Amino acid sequence: MQHITDLIKYLRDEKYIFIQTHNFPDHDAVASAFGLQEFFKNYEITSYLTYDGDIQRDSLFDMIDSLKINIQHVSRYDMNDKHKIVIVDGCKGNKNVTDLIGDEVGVIDHHQVVKAEDVPFNDIRPGIGACSTILFSYFQDYNFTIPQNVATALLIGINMDTSLLTRGVSADDIYAYSSLYTLSDVRLVNSILRNFIQQKDLAFYKEVIERVIITNTVAYCYFPDGCNQNMLGILGDFLLALKEVDFVILAAKNNDKINFSLRNENNKWNCSLIIQQVLKDIGFGGGHIDMAGGIINNINLFDEKKIYTSFMELLV
């Protein structure tokens, strides 16, 4: 399948189609899934939005509630191997995308990933800043009107994944942003973008300020008492705002796993490649040149001193 219309033809007679985000979805993942669901409706195709893991950001809950996005945890569905699955903002085979019961027929992603050879339709554009931009392009290419709630979600997704158009932005993202701006509920977009932390989160800011280690232009902090993946990303952006910092490494012990979040603004480094190298044989990671995440599922394989040394050997 070369084009989205090929996938449409394949799915037209299917009764149960699931659009799956990566685990622990963010704004861009949910917006992209919602956009694809609405795009399918133009062809009278019904689909269901699902994810594994947890939704962790209150601002994402606000977006979902405000825009009436019906996305349910996979446990709410009785899936079988005949059901078709399209993965958005993630790729089959990646550790952050659970292999659900069902037949994966499509992947739509913007991360640096290896094409899923056993999936008929792959639309992978690593040069794009947000998966929401890819979904915008479908509406644009086929001259479909974008409903206001969909435009609003996609605009939020682009803003969040590009950090307000300051990270990994392409010309396609800029065009999508400007086009969606006039179609969106801009007040809601601004409200979601401004109100992304709560008072309880201030303790994490205090902890990162007290514990951060800055060597040359690299900032490192480990949270032994836990910090969820989404909050790690927010704190990474916070530290990257320091004039003296070009690269941020954050890690947290969450239950029996270790989560990582990386941020970068130095062109000589690649977050995605670095996290993969550091976690080789003990975990997994991936993402983009300027942002990436990772996880060690077996906490017994985590040695903080060795991990820190591995990062620093690659960066300093």
Domain 4-194 belongs to what topology? inorganic pyrophosphatase (n-terminal core) (3.90.1640)
- CATH code of the domain occupying 199-315: 3.10.310.40
Domain spans of the chain? Answer: 4-194, 199-315
State how far the Cα of 299 lies from the Cα of 148, in Å rounded to an integer: 45
pLDDT at residue 287 in the model: 87
Whether 90 shows a pLDDT value over 90: the answer reads yes
Read off the pTM. 0.90
pLDDT at 1 over 90: no
Sheet holding 17-20, edge to edge: 71-73, 48-51, 17-20, 84-88, 103-109, 121-124
> What pLDDT digit, counting tens, does each position of 261-302 carry?
999 999 999 999 999 999 999 998 888 899 999 999 999 999
Q: pLDDT above 70 covers what percent of the chain?
A: 100
Order of strands, edge to edge, in the sheet holding 291-296?
213-215, 218-223, 247-254, 257-264, 291-296, 284-287
Q: What is the pLDDT of residues 7-53, one digit of tens each?
A: 999 999 999 999 999 998 999 999 999 999 999 999 999 999 999 98
State whether the Cα torsion 59-87-295-71 is positive or negative.
positive
pLDDT at residue 110, as a whole number: 96
